[in-house]
Structures are given as C-alpha cells and as structure tokens.
Amino acid sequence: MGKRIISRRRGAGTPTYRSPSHRHHGPIYHPSPSVVGEGTVVGIVHAPGRSAPVAEISTPSGDIIRTIASAGIATGDAISLHRGPVTHGALLSLGEIPDGTLVCNLEVKPFDGGRLVRAAGTSALVTAHAGKLVTVQLPSGAYKQFLTTCRAQVGGRGRRRST
C-alpha cells in the first residue's frame, strides 16, 4: 500500500492546503459600473492566499473597494474608475486602452469582475482593435478576443520579484 499523492491530499482540504478564507479582507473584483470618477489608493495590504498585494481604493462616494494592486501604484495615487487617462492602476474598458498597453485583471464577459491575469508578475498585451472586439495577447502567448466593453486594469500585476 502506497500513500496518497499530494494532489489528492490538497483536494481533501486538510488545514495545510486549505485556503485561509477566514483571513481574507473581502471580495476582490472590479467595482460596479455605476462607480465613475477618480478613486484614491488608501492602502496596499497583504492578502493571505494571494501572490499579489491588494489595493484598497476610496471611491468618490466614500466606499472602499479592493482590487489586486498593479505594479507602480502607491498609497495616495489617484486611480481612474471607468473613464479617464490611461495611467498605472486605471480601471478602463478595453476599447479605451490603446494598442501596446500592458493590462491585468481582464474581464471575460462585460462586468464579471475580472477573471484573467490576476497572479503576481503577470500581464497581458493589448494588440489590436477591430470594431467591437479587442485582441489581447495573454501571458501564455495565446491571442484572445474580448468585447470593447470588457474592463481591465492598466499595468502589470504587482510584486514582480515573485516570477
């Protein structure tokens, strides 16, 4: 009789391999489309179970949203939410982001909160705009087309020394 391999033990959810959900700060997604304007980064915190740090952003209405921090942002920086200039950390629709820009935290479907390119040190490259579609080169090297209304965060994912 052999012993169980590591992948089998991880599936069982033993304390060694279980996600520390009781220590998570809250949901980490893009804000709702109704949040427009400039937010301010009020803090960058470590999130257990994640490879990249989390940025806490104060919205114009005073709410605090959490998103995975882009490389190059710091506490006190102004972040564009849904409209505005293309700067590090800005959350814009892919139609507003020019070709050749690095992005992260991509939405697969409009307003799904960001599903792709969320690990530390990763980034995708906006390569072309064609009508209602934007072509993006993913970290795997694959090219994928997204609707122009899908949102993404400008800049690569934070904590580059991890890769």
pLDDT at 162: 46
Convert the pLDDT of each residue in 123-161 to its tens digit.
Answer: 999 999 999 999 999 999 999 999 999 999 999 876 655
Nearest to 147 by CA among 102, 112, 100, 123: 112
pLDDT of residue 163: 44
Q: Stretch 47-60: mean pLDDT, rounded? A: 88
Task: Parse the chain into domains and list their residue ranges.
Answer: 24-157
Domain 24-157 has CATH 2.30.30.30: yes
How far is Cα 94 from Cα 129, in angstroms, rounded to an integer? 9
Bridge partners of 144, per DSSP, are 136
